[in-house]
Amino acid sequence: MAKCDKCSNQSKFFLPYGPHKYCNKHFNSFFEKRFKKTIRKYKMLSKNEVIVVGVSGGKDSMVLLHLLEKFYSKEQTIKALSIDEGIPNYRNKAIKVALKEIKKRNIEFKLVSFKKKLGKTMVDVMKKTGRNKTIGSTCSYCGPFRRKLLNETAVEMNATKIATGHNLDDEVQSIAMNFFDNDLKRMARLGAITKGSKGFIPRIKPLYLAPEKEIIAYASLNKINHFSEECCPFSWQAKRNAFRTMLNEMETKFPGTFYSILSFFENLKPSIQKKEKTTFCKKCNTLSSGTLCSACLKLEKIN
Amino acid sequence: MAKCDKCSNQSKFFLPYGPHKYCNKHFNSFFEKRFKKTIRKYKMLSKNEVIVVGVSGGKDSMVLLHLLEKFYSKEQTIKALSIDEGIPNYRNKAIKVALKEIKKRNIEFKLVSFKKKLGKTMVDVMKKTGRNKTIGSTCSYCGPFRRKLLNETAVEMNATKIATGHNLDDEVQSIAMNFFDNDLKRMARLGAITKGSKGFIPRIKPLYLAPEKEIIAYASLNKINHFSEECCPFSWQAKRNAFRTMLNEMETKFPGTFYSILSFFENLKPSIQKKEKTTFCKKCNTLSSGTLCSACLKLEKIN
């Protein structure tokens, strides 16, 4: 059996894109170093920030919370926020796991629900979208609603940053989908960090350079509790799943593909980033590219 | 059985990206209209051009020659040029097919060989590259050599344009490979038309919007002779083949993907096209981005 690149122990992890071979201990330090490097590289944090972590209860957000607590809780204030979309037998279970973990860590926590804030659960949305194909898929409602509540509540929690658990695979899937779909505008909105503006808290993705497989391994090695049911029961996500499968196959054939696509995007970003005209939503006064923000537009559609 | 979109005949061709359904006759006119539209859209031809068609003997170049002859031979002068790379049991056979077809059409024709012009056949190249992995793959020599002879000979033939048989699939594969490889510089060089400059004849790809499958169908419908052995025996092209397979699967799942990727590239091109510093090759005086052009650089490597 091959040895670890860093010590004489047997390697337990083979990362073909390096290639790297690591024992448990050195995989852990490799993973954590990259996490800290990502935060430095993209200038995600200044001093004395109030970081609100979007916590779904899944592996990504639980690992994110763990790492921010482990390395940044002395200098920064870390808080957690969960959004209950009202997806029975799924989000309630995930939030239970998240809550248990958050209580252990003794950090400020807030739970907000679609039901209370918007008057609709995702079940209500699905009842409308299921019958009426012209108003868009169920999933197209969940994202804007979640982002709206995340921002609004983070403002109430005095956040200076919102941190989300998006990983390398998520980002590369989004970049590739925009490439295949010819959507430069959407592609320009991706990236490790989104600048804030009036009423809009900047967002950071500290796991932006972490492959999904390694997050799973890290969670398991460090016994980080998380809700591990794969998919939301409302979402087939046929398109994203096809891209996930295709990209994983290409990464297996050509290791390093994910990082290469990410670099392509980062090289490209400065030339495609146009200043989008922004104004404020007439209904909720949030930053918007039109008269109504996408969440309020979606709310009108199902009301 | 479904009817043709244009008449009451039974449809023989289903093109899912439209979707279009055509009988033989209307498929033919659809294919030919798109060909002429491509030439107009990208302003490929002015009046009284001398078009030198690069003819390999394969389906793409034979269909290209047929279409240029059919629609442009009154206004334009059409000539043909074949390059013999010296690949035994392959190019010699293909050129035989090409020659027969060209004779029938009674157009000016030139055949040049790597052996005579460069002193090396691809067999000679392979003998060097096969033993020495540091000097690059066999295929990396063939492209620059072919492009060099194509341009040099086209100059001798008084060409104002060089036309090649690159089709939609070829172009989309190249775009996707550059995307996955993070190679913006190479991507910027792609496109339907390449501007010329001193000593460098502009190149056009009139089949740029024609899917490979439809070229095969058109060749068969119109009984256009061509050499149909799939691959060059020297080339495994493992990487391009993996991309071809992947892209064909995505096109099957999401019809229109090819055109969508092409549009992405075309929207992007203006922002990635930087003026490359160009100078002239010290050895052969052709346009070059360095002291030596890539063909002369390659020649030095194997001499």
Whether B270 has its CB under 8 Å from any CB of chain A: the answer is no
**In Å, how far is A289's CA from the nearest CA of chain B?**
22
**In Å, how far is B74's CA from the nearest CA of chain A?**
38
User: Who among A179, A249, A268 is closest to B261 (CB)?
Assistant: A179
Q: What is the mean pLDDT of residues A40-54?
A: 97
**In Å, how far is A171's CA from the nearest CA of chain B?**
14
User: Who among B180, B239, B263 is closest to A261 (CB)?
Assistant: B180
Cα A17 from Cα A255, distance rounded (Å): 5
Farthest CA pair distance, chain A: 64
pLDDT at B204: 98
In what helix (H) or strand (E) does residue B21 lie, and over which residues does it extend? strand B20-22
**In Å, how far is B65's CA from the nearest CA of chain A?**
31
Across the interface, do A179 and B264 touch by the CB < 8 Å criterion? yes
Whether A239 has its CB under 8 Å from any CB of chain B: the answer is yes
Across the interface, do B184 and A268 touch by the CB < 8 Å criterion? yes
pLDDT at A236: 67
Whether B274 has its CB under 8 Å from any CB of chain A: the answer is no
Task: Decide if B54 contacts B83 (C-beta within 8 A).
Answer: yes
Name every chain A residue with its beta carbon within 8 A of the beta carbon of B256. none
Strand B77-84 relative to strand B109-113, pairing: parallel
Name every chain A residue with its beta carbon within 8 A of the beta carbon of B250. 180, 242, 246
Whether A109 has its CB under 8 Å from any CB of chain B: the answer is no
Whether B184 has its CB under 8 Å from any CB of chain A: the answer is yes
Whether A236 has its CB under 8 Å from any CB of chain B: the answer is no
CB–CB contacts below 8 A, A to B:
58
Cα A13 from Cα A22, distance rounded (Å): 5
Residue A61: φ, ψ to 5°: -70, -30
Read off the tokens for A29. 């330090």
Strand residues in B88-160 grouped as ranges (E): 109-113
Q: Which residues pair with B91 in a beta bridge?
A: none
Question: Crossing angle for the helix pair A238-253 and B238-253, nearest 10 degrees?
Answer: 170
The ipTM of this complex is 0.87
Across the interface, do B249 and A246 touch by the CB < 8 Å criterion? yes
Per-position pLDDT tens, chain B of length 303: 699 999 999 999 999 999 999 999 999 999 999 999 999 999 999 999 999 999 999 999 999 999 999 999 999 999 999 999 888 888 888 989 999 989 988 899 999 999 999 898 888 888 887 766 677 788 888 888 999 999 999 999 999 999 999 999 999 999 999 999 999 999 999 999 999 888 889 999 999 999 999 999 999 999 999 998 767 777 767 788 899 999 999 999 999 999 999 999 999 998 888 766 778 888 888 778 788 888 888 888 888
Across the interface, do B254 and A184 touch by the CB < 8 Å criterion? no
User: Who among A179, A242, A253 is closest to B242 (CB)?
Assistant: A253
CB atoms within 10 A of CB A103: 10
pTM: 0.91
The structural domains of chain A, with segments of one domain joined by +, span 1-37, 42-277
Name every chain A residue with its beta carbon within 8 A of the beta carbon of B253. 242
Which is it for the CA torsion B250, B251, B252, B253, positive or negative? positive
* pLDDT tens-place string over residues A67-95: 999 999 999 999 999 999 888 888 888 88
- In one letter, which amino acid is A99? L
Superfamily (CATH) of domain B42-277:
HUPs (3.40.50.620)
Across the interface, do B182 and A264 touch by the CB < 8 Å criterion? yes
